[in-house]
Structure 1
Amino acid sequence: MEYKWRCLIAVCFGTFMATMDFSIVNVALPTLSREFDKPPDTVVWVALASSLMVTGITLTAGRIGDLYGRKRVYITGWVIFTVGMLVASFAQTIEQLIAFRFFQAIGVALAIANGNAIVTEAFPPEQRGQALGTTGSVVGAGLMTGPIVGGLILEGLSWQAIFYLRAPIGLIAMTLAFLFIRPSAPSSELTSRKVDIPGAITLFATLSSALLAVNRGTSWGWGSPVILGLFAFSACALASFLRVESRAVSPVIALGLFKVRSYAVGVSSLALNFAGQSAVTFLMPFYLQQVRGYSTGQTGLVIATVPSMMLLLSPISGRVSDRFGFRHQTTAGIVLVSIGLLLMSTIDASTPIGLVMARLAVIGVGTSIFMSPNSASIMGSVPKERLGTASASVATARNIGNATGLAMASAILVGVASTSAGFTAARVADLPAEAILDGVTAAFLAAAAVSSLAIVASSFRGKQARPVTPPAAQVAPAIQE
């Protein structure tokens, strides 16, 4: 088997396990609340800790891979991930479990930050879309498979099994990476190979505080002093980060990258697309279980429509983009996602489940058409020594989009459903089905509006720019298109 295919197998296996980690723990939160006798707003930190850490350090992890070799950093990530899985299963308190999740998330960040960069380096440009399309389909499958797998594990075993059963899989991912991935040469930039520590700290402060505010805005109150303070702190940290990066010898993010239109448009449209699409995973369980009376197993099968389309079509989409280019293909994909979300806003309690799944299939097809060429556009617009940064940008944009979309969907669902019912319940499940349906459809309509912003962003995409090698610390000026 050729090296590029071995490399793709190793990265896809790792990507599936890393992305599934984001969602598999969510299904265990009610169980953890009972086991540790802690309220939900405390237990949610088991999931939130991982999101905060991964979002905050992924770009730095990508830069470390650029500087010191991507295979080395990728395998180190899997070592940390596997150890984190094992120690998490021995947690005696919720505080210990949260701390172990912070540690484990460092490994996840190191792995996902460098995965796309490794694949991009292994494949020639004419096959890059197909390869990245395959990894994109695996991302979708991992995110949506987590709740299904977690639910099955919890039905027969304890919560600890969520963690220790995945430790051997971490060893497999580590072994595949060791055997199938070639070492990459460290960056040849004529600059200091020291990690930009001030930039890494200010970037983490910017992203983690903003993500925390968005994630907890609904429960803590959007106008509360804590949330407003977090947003203000994030803005100040962002200003500090930009100042630091403009002067750094070897910055975490070369700000000149954002002068390259295909890179800037690709990252922004990716974040907006996921901000709209993430509503599906949050809203569908409420619709199917509270409005339609479906079981958790049936719910998982219906939601699996989206990742099924991604698994089937993403590699094909990648091949099409390799052959015909991807400027208009990305926009067409987002248009389909927006149409699918708009159609979801028209469902009611009597909509045939086949038509509901058809609407979800439209979203899945649109995502498949969009993801492969968009990822190829981002990865192909940067010089080789910045592939880790570009790969990390894809993961970070996806995480920010997901967090923002979930916060938006939850706020609209609760607000509209409470208004429709005429009272505010402690839990959404306590509201009548009709009120929940009103909230679900309103949230899908808002998600369609956000997704359509990605159409606007993608329409500014120019012809694919050829990457340029940056002098010293900065990327060359914007490519003329």
Structure 2
Amino acid sequence: MSLPTSLEAIPATAATPSAPALNRVLFSLSLSMLLSSLGTSIANVALPTLAQAFSASFQAVQWVVLAYLLTVTVVIVTVGRLGDLVGRRRLMLWGLGVFTLASLAGGASTTLWQLIAARVVQGLGAATMMALSMALVSERVPKQQVGSAMGLLGTVSALGTALGPTLGGLLIGVCGWNAVFWINVPLGLVALTMAYRHLPPDPAATAAKPVRFDLVGMVLLALSLAAYSLAMTLGRGAFGPLNAGLLLLALLGLGAFVFAETRVAAPLVPLATFRHPVMATGFAASALVTTVVMATLVVGPFYLVGALQLDAMHMGLVMSVGPAVAAVFGAPAGRLVDSVGSQPVGAAGLVTMFLGAATLPIAATTWGAAGYAGALGLITAGYATFQSANNTAVMARATADQRGVVSGLLNLSRNLGLITGASAMGAVFGFGASTSLVATASAQQLTAGLHLTFLVAAALVALGGVLTWLGVTASRRITPPAEAQA
């Protein structure tokens, strides 16, 4: 996998590696990102098989997926900050090793709870790979090529998401459910070898300096994120007293975390990060637009099967349009960011997302599956374009000693959008359909739910656009014009 040929025109220096060396670095980081996203999607298709293999209920086997997602969400900021402190290359190698070993243990599990425990450990490795891939790109890639590299990471992430269900189904049919996890072992070993051989050593100053880690902040943030994630996922869309209690606990924990961060010399998350307008609004906008993308994944199957009467195969084909389009648009959007700047590209992405969300209900009811697929393509093309621009803009503002934690926060905002979208947008769909049993709802009810869901989705994209504009406007008052265009 190589970058655009414009990289080859950059002369190699001590700070700027040659194009072949840089491509090898990016290949190892891209493979790490591919594995972490594949780990998110490949297990979903195995849930019915796992329920049979372990004689377990759906509520039990769904923790094979939830354990991975929750672990990534809870620890991703912490591992990003650890990378800043102990060395990003060192921690990336550790994360790849943990992910690979946990994949081996997952495939060898003899009980469901052993498998869930392996998925927790696998999520820890995946969080490290996600957070540090972006941080290392920002650190190692020349500034004028960061957009292309960020777009490449977005492309392989979308490819992993798209490939997961197809590859998982093939492996289960040929080799059994164990292969869904064992496939990561040879791929993980390749990624580990590539990273060991081609990632440049951590700066000597990083390896030599004493580590001052904010343990209290880590615990408070982890508890807050765990409580929020559980509040959004438990109950399968029904928000009861337990969910409310967990949400309250998350808010209290967040308040305690912010208070604690103002009292330590080396905070886990420097609160000054949120005072930079582009970074603060970039995190918020990323969460909002990811919530919209998750709405397409949650609502789509019910509408396509229930209202349009598609069978499972054709429903899957329509749903695959989203990640396929995202994979196609990520890299070109990154190159465009390098050419014209992140602000116009990000704005174009948000406009495209808004048009897709606003027109999806009309297109679906007018042209059926083709209309739904077309509007879904607009949403995901806009999403891939915006994320390439937003990630580049945010990482450009990160100081050298905070790239890991900022990358962790970007990934956290994305995961929070996924978790919130699955719960909140599912609830909006049910409210619009006037039933909590959407699986048995009529076509008319499902259409009403679709209209309300994407009305809310369009509003969320518009809010993301307003926040981004406010961030850019405020940044121009404190940033030189040349840097503001980054």
Whether 2:97 is the aligned partner of 1:60: answer no
- The range that moved more, 346-355 or 269-278, is 346-355
Looking at structure 1, the residues matched to 416 and 195 of structure 2 have their Cα atoms a distance apart, in angstroms, of 27
Change (3 A) 1:205 1:18: same
Whether 2:150 is the aligned partner of 1:132: answer yes
Change (3 A) 1:294 1:327: same
Residue 291 of structure 1 corresponds to: 307
Q: Post-superposition, which runs of at least 4 consecutive aligned residues in structure 1 deviate over 6 A?
A: 463-466
**Does the 8 A contact of 1:62 with 1:389 survive in 2?**
yes
Where in structure 2 are the equivalents of 1:17-416 lying within 5 Å?
Answer: 17-185=35-203, 192-219=210-237, 221-222=238-239, 224-348=240-364, 351-416=367-432
| SS of residue paired to 2:109 | coil
Looking at structure 2, the residues matched to 254 and 151 of structure 1 have their Cα atoms a distance apart, in angstroms, of 43
Looking at structure 2, the residues matched to 208 and 197 of structure 1 have their Cα atoms a distance apart, in angstroms, of 16
Looking at structure 2, the residues matched to 94 and 263 of structure 1 have their Cα atoms a distance apart, in angstroms, of 41
Looking at structure 2, the residues matched to 112 and 143 of structure 1 have their Cα atoms a distance apart, in angstroms, of 14
Cα deviation digits, residues 135-182 of structure 1 (max 9, x gap): 112222222332232233233342222111222111111112112211
- The range that moved more, 345-354 or 150-159, is 345-354
Residue 454 of structure 1 corresponds to: 464
Residue 31 of structure 2 corresponds to: 13
Looking at structure 2, the residues matched to 464 and 162 of structure 1 have their Cα atoms a distance apart, in angstroms, of 47
Looking at structure 1, the residues matched to 65 and 192 of structure 2 have their Cα atoms a distance apart, in angstroms, of 24
**Does the 8 A contact of 1:327 with 1:461 survive in 2?**
no
**Does the 8 A contact of 1:69 with 1:184 survive in 2?**
yes
Looking at structure 2, the residues matched to 327 and 406 of structure 1 have their Cα atoms a distance apart, in angstroms, of 29
Amino acid at match of 1:308: A
Looking at structure 1, the residues matched to 309 and 108 of structure 2 have their Cα atoms a distance apart, in angstroms, of 36
With structure 1 as the length reference, what TM-score do the two structures score? 0.89
| SS of residue paired to 1:252 | coil
Identity over aligned residues, as a percent? Answer: 30
Residue 469 of structure 1 corresponds to: none
Provide the aligned length of Structure 1 versus Structure 2. 462
- The range that moved more, 15-24 or 346-355, is 346-355
Looking at structure 2, the residues matched to 148 and 173 of structure 1 have their Cα atoms a distance apart, in angstroms, of 22
Q: Offset of 1:411 from its aligned partner? A: 1.8
Residue 475 of structure 1 corresponds to: none
- The range that moved more, 43-52 or 292-301, is 292-301
| SS of residue paired to 1:346 | helix
With structure 2 as the length reference, what TM-score do the two structures score? 0.89
Cα deviation digits, residues 66-116 of structure 1 (max 9, x gap): 111111111111111111111111222222221111111111111111000
Amino acid at match of 1:247: R
The structure with the greater share of residues assigned to helix is: 2
**Does the 8 A contact of 1:148 with 1:300 survive in 2?**
no
**Does the 8 A contact of 1:417 with 1:435 survive in 2?**
yes
**Does the 8 A contact of 1:69 with 1:187 survive in 2?**
no
Residue 429 of structure 1 corresponds to: 439
Q: Offset of 1:44 from its aligned partner? A: 1.5
Q: Which runs of 5+ in 1 are unaligned?
A: 467-477
Looking at structure 1, the residues matched to 474 and 396 of structure 2 have their Cα atoms a distance apart, in angstroms, of 8
**Does the 8 A contact of 2:86 with 2:206 survive in 1?**
no
Change (3 A) 1:148 1:284: farther
Amino acid at match of 1:321: V
Q: Offset of 1:441 from its aligned partner? A: 3.6
| SS of residue paired to 2:266 | coil
> Alpha carbon RMSD of aligned pairs, Å?
2.4
| SS of residue paired to 1:247 | coil
Residue 14 of structure 2 corresponds to: none
Change (3 A) 1:197 1:479: farther
| SS of residue paired to 2:472 | coil
Looking at structure 2, the residues matched to 92 and 328 of structure 1 have their Cα atoms a distance apart, in angstroms, of 52
Q: Which runs of 5+ in 2 are unaligned?
A: 1-18
Change (3 A) 1:33 1:412: farther
Looking at structure 2, the residues matched to 53 and 310 of structure 1 have their Cα atoms a distance apart, in angstroms, of 25
Q: Offset of 1:56 from its aligned partner? A: 0.7
Looking at structure 2, the residues matched to 271 and 186 of structure 1 have their Cα atoms a distance apart, in angstroms, of 36
Amino acid at match of 1:309: V
Q: Offset of 1:14 from its aligned partner? A: 1.2
Q: Offset of 1:439 from its aligned partner? A: 2.7
Looking at structure 2, the residues matched to 90 and 455 of structure 1 have their Cα atoms a distance apart, in angstroms, of 47
Looking at structure 2, the residues matched to 297 and 77 of structure 1 have their Cα atoms a distance apart, in angstroms, of 36
Looking at structure 2, the residues matched to 465 and 186 of structure 1 have their Cα atoms a distance apart, in angstroms, of 33
Q: Offset of 1:347 from its aligned partner? A: 4.2
- The range that moved more, 46-55 or 295-304, is 295-304
**Does the 8 A contact of 2:278 with 2:468 survive in 1?**
no
Looking at structure 2, the residues matched to 186 and 443 of structure 1 have their Cα atoms a distance apart, in angstroms, of 52
Looking at structure 1, the residues matched to 217 and 130 of structure 2 have their Cα atoms a distance apart, in angstroms, of 20
Change (3 A) 1:317 1:187: farther
Q: Offset of 1:449 from its aligned partner? A: 2.2
**Does the 8 A contact of 1:68 with 1:187 survive in 2?**
no
- The range that moved more, 63-72 or 243-252, is 243-252
Looking at structure 2, the residues matched to 198 and 206 of structure 1 have their Cα atoms a distance apart, in angstroms, of 12
